[in-house]
Structure 1
């Protein structure tokens, strides 16, 4: 190898390192550290907030929790020291969380398509909790049936709790 070739190789290695550094700075850290969040950045879901703020903050909070859970499970799966049985359990849990997250999103979109201004869906184990934005104090039987149909078509779960948020 002559001087020209070694100069080119060194230059390419330096460019790759710089590109990696810049990508990390632009896209943020490759991991989330619990100490990155403090009380000032935490989202509170107090009842006194307006409904649009409630739906926005609740969705953000749920999405952050789901992303953190998926990241932790993924780290467990990728760890070389994790036993195979635990990896299989973690893979099943990862699939369940990812599926529930997708179903929540699908249900919210379907409810918005039905005419609700905002909707929030939470699936925990075998129960679905739905918040819908409505100026009415009570939903009609047709609206409740429509919500139940959407949930049943997406999740096949029968325990559905619908709450109205003005």
Structure 2
């Protein structure tokens, strides 16, 4: 088995685990005994007519997609770091990227938790380069006080000044 096959197998394992976590989190198995669970709205149904559930589903699916992408990228970088056939410069660059992605993932989680603790119903945080994108669940447009509060949380945790904030109903 070569390195490429190992990376593919590792990636598939990560995706299987994420699907299991999502199924458990939504408290409905994807399949039971090879048969759909019998509900008209399965855990991964995109045609759910319940608007409130669709809103929650957007946040859950976005977080799951982000976490899967991060896990795959971290696994690929870890493989590069551990490969002795890769040049020292490339391994150092991969280690730097690995550390940055791991820190950003930690910051995203802390920012989401802090904002939820401040009363926001649901939050998605995405950090790329030196920019943070925040999606807040809410019906109304955010006030200047809310915007300042979110920016202060991001600045306090991740030391990022450029923050893009949007609301999603």
TM norm. shorter chain > 0.5 = yes
Q: What is the Cα deviation at residue 65 of structure 1?
A: 0.2
Equivalent-residue separation in structure 2 for 1:44 and 1:112 (angstroms): 26
User: Aligned match of 2:166 in 142, 160, 163?
Assistant: 163
Corresponding residue of 1:22: none
Q: What is the Cα deviation at residue 146 of structure 1?
A: 0.8
Normalization by structure 2: what TM-score? 0.70
Residues 62-107 of structure 1: CA deviation (Å, up to 9, x unaligned): 0000000000000000111011111111100000000000000000
Q: What is the Cα deviation at residue 30 of structure 1?
A: 6.5
Corresponding residue of 1:65: 69
Q: What is the Cα deviation at residue 156 of structure 1?
A: 1.4
Corresponding residue of 2:133: 129
Q: Which has the larger radius of gyration?
A: 1
Aligned length: 130
Corresponding residue of 2:154: 151
- Whether 2:115 is the aligned partner of 1:111: answer yes
SS of structure 1 residue aligned to 2:126: strand
CA gap of 1:155–1:44, structure 2 versus 1, over 3 A, is farther
SS of structure 2 residue aligned to 1:139: coil
Equivalent-residue separation in structure 1 for 2:93 and 2:10 (angstroms): 23
Normalization by structure 1: what TM-score? 0.71
Unaligned runs of 5+ in 1: 1-28, 38-42
Q: What is the Cα deviation at residue 116 of structure 1?
A: 0.5
Equivalent-residue separation in structure 2 for 1:74 and 1:148 (angstroms): 32
User: Aligned match of 1:81 in 63, 78, 85?
Assistant: 85
- Whether 2:35 is the aligned partner of 1:32: answer no
Displaced runs of 4 or more, over 6 A: none
Corresponding residue of 1:96: 100
RMSD (Å) for aligned C-alpha atoms: 2.6
